[in-house]
Structure 1
Amino acid sequence: MIEKRHFTRIAFDASARLIRGENDWPAKLLDISLKGALLQQPEESSLEKDDPVSLYLLLSDEETEIRMEGHVAHLENDHVGIACDHMDVDSASHLRRIVELNTGNEALLEREIEALVNFAAH
């Protein structure tokens, strides 16, 4: 399989909630990028590919939250991949900082942000 990933995935531990419509599940975050997240599929969830979802991550200070609106991009084994369709400015800023701290490579981060902007423009 050819790797099509354009964004660095960061293994990150945070309290997560996945919401679809009236359903709200606690979830375990496996990794996150500027364009999405990978979660352990919540028990008793009936998620399907392309379902619109919201992902909320409460960071360790328990006051900072990242909110991501997106859709289920893939379901494999017990994992669910979420593609980000929208994120508010504060959430994007927090996520950028997480990626920056975890990659330690500002040039890589700038390339990914440029790719994200170009991706959103198309």
Structure 2
Amino acid sequence: MTSSHDERRRFQRIAFDAPTELRQGERRWPVKLLDLSLKGLLVERPEPWDADPTQDFDAVIHLNDKKTQVRMQVELRHDESTRLGFICLHIDIDSMTHLHRLVELNLADSTEMMRELRELIEE
């Protein structure tokens, strides 16, 4: 059964496991990445979680060689008891290239990838 939230989702999420860190000012939280999309990410809520939900975060996803990273400026969109959902506010071109490649490799349909890119550009 799909929820109305899932039906409204325009960007497919892919399950991906990579070392990930949330940053807010001088504070840092290592988190478990559950999934990501061209528009955001979902992580397990770290303990303790003492962030300011009204301020933006930087999310850093370390890829295979630890030198390659996807960096996004993100906003907390939902805070559940065990999960945090973030929407991407800004991403640099290098990070977008890496993220695009990750999503592309995990989507079976190249036309779906093109649709998502069009929607991202049109926002």
When the two structures are superposed, what TM-score results if normalisation uses the length of structure 1? 0.92
- Residue number in structure 2 paired with 1:59: 63
**Offset of residue 50 of structure 1:** 4.1
Alignment map for 1:12-27 (pairs within 5 Å): 12-27=16-31
Alignment map for 1:7-86 (pairs within 5 Å): 7-47=11-51, 49-86=53-90
How many angstroms apart in 2 are the aligned matches of 1:23 and 1:48? 10
- Residue number in structure 1 paired with 2:122: 118
How many angstroms apart in 2 are the aligned matches of 1:19 and 1:47? 9
**Offset of residue 48 of structure 1:** 5.1
Q: Which runs of 4+ in 1 moved over 6 A?
A: none
Instruction: Give the unaligned 5+ runs of structure 2.
Output: none
Percent identity among equivalent residues? 39
How many angstroms apart in 2 are the aligned matches of 1:78 and 1:30? 11
The residue type equivalent to 1:11 in the other structure is A
Q: How many residues align?
A: 119
Instruction: Give the unaligned 5+ runs of structure 1.
Output: none
**Offset of residue 30 of structure 1:** 0.2
When the two structures are superposed, what TM-score results if normalisation uses the length of structure 2? 0.91
The residue type equivalent to 2:12 in the other structure is T
Aligned counterpart for 2:4 among listed residues 2, 5, 12: 2
Instruction: Find the residue that maps to 1:115 and give its secondary structure.
Output: helix
Q: CA RMSD in A?
A: 1.2
The residue type equivalent to 1:32 in the other structure is L
Instruction: Find the residue that maps to 2:47 and give its secondary structure.
Output: coil
